[in-house]
Amino acid sequence: MQKDIHPIYHPDAKVTCACGHTFTVGSTKETISVEVCAACHPFFTGNEKVMDTAGRVEKFKARAQKAGATKKTSSKKATKATADEA
């Protein structure tokens, strides 16, 4: 069996989140940087947090709003047409 092939284990590695929360874990790295932790993750906090880097959420919301507006106008036209026929 080969000797000295395993990395060094750090039992008190420091983890730093983008929100500023820090905690310690055991790891092969001394310091770890993460974007989301249990203190700021939407699943644990119950708050909605949108991580949008390319404007995709705004594009989706605009398309959804536009689609909702066309459905409303088309239903008005259909009721107006049936009222005129009667």
pLDDT averaged over 10-residue windows placed end to end, the chain, 86 residues: 89 93 95 90 74 75 87 58 58
The burial of 8, by beta-carbon neighbours within 10 Å (0-12 exposed, 13-18 middle, 19 or more buried), is given as exposed
pTM: 0.48
**Would you state the structure tokens that stand for residue 34, as one six-digit string?**
């993460």
Q: Tell me the residue length of the chain.
A: 86
Alpha helices, H only, the chain: 42-45, 56-85
